[in-house]
Chains A and B, each alone.
Chain A
Amino acid sequence: AQSVTQLGSHVSVSEGALVLLRCNYSSSVPPYLFWYVQYPNQGLQLLLKYTTGATLVKGINGFEAEFKKSETSFHLTKPSAHMSDAAEYFCAVGPRSARQLTFGSGTQLTVLP
């Protein structure tokens, strides 16, 4: 069984500030972890993923995440927020593959001018 908890359903940051979106997971087997972004009325776009290997994963648009097994976390960060980053972000976990994904409840990111 697997589950994902995203702390904070809404996060607001100022333009240029650090973005930190939190994700904790539970998995009985080594997890595959994903971050997706969703803009209004659109599907999901993959930001980054962790499968195996290096625990610091870099993605598109300047985002990165670090897999911390001891903390069962996969937090998403970006050093400097841009207005275009305003969107809904979903963390997801899969048991050793991407075939069975469990999604978190999502975090709405607002970027203030």
Chain B
Amino acid sequence: GAVVSQHPSWVICKSGTSVKIECRSLDFQATTMFWYRQFPKQSLMLMATSNEGSKATYEQGVEKDKFLINHASLTLSTLTVTSAHPEDSSFYICSAWEREGSFLYNEQFFGPGTRLTVL
């Protein structure tokens, strides 16, 4: 089946530093990748949608200068949390989607998530 990996699985950083999270589709080409944020005991909140080779589309209320997303290839998207602060601490999950018409297009494939703790 289609597998999506995330790295790192957890990260602790100091306030004011930047953190990069990678999301990779291991055995298929993801034309679109999504980044979600999940607070404890809550549902997933879509942060942004990224298409390979183009700028990400951010959801309302998500700071694009704080959460930098790059989708440079069909198998890799990165989320960089710039100048992180304790309120950015959360569980970040990515997912990947193949193009319309492919045999995988009926499903989003989710990564295992990254736990970010900002001290």
Which A residues lie at the B interface, using CB under 8 A?
A: 32, 34, 36, 41-46, 49, 51, 90, 97-99, 101, 103-106, 108
Contacts and interface: CB of A to CB of B under 8 A. Distances in A.
Contacts of A97: 100, 105-106
A41 B115 CA distance: 8
Interface residues of B, number: 22
Contacts of A43: 4, 6, 93, 110-113
A98 B107 contact: yes
B106 A105 contact: no
Contacts of B6: 43
Given A41-B91, A42-B113, A103 B108 contact: no
B32 interface: yes
A98 B97 contact: yes
A46 B107 contact: yes
17 contacts: A36-B110, A41-B115, A42-B112, A43-B4, A43-B6, A43-B113, A44-B95, A44-B110, A45-B110, A49-B107, A90-B44, A98-B97, A98-B106, A98-B107, A98-B108, A99-B97, A106-B43
B104 to A, nearest CB: 9
A36 B44 CA distance: 12
A34 B107 CA distance: 9
A40 to B, nearest CB: 10
A83 to B, nearest CB: 21
Contact of B93 (A44, A46, A51): A44
A51 B106 contact: yes
A43 B2 CA distance: 14
Given A98-B107, A98-B108, A105 B43 contact: yes
Interface string B74-86: 0000000000000
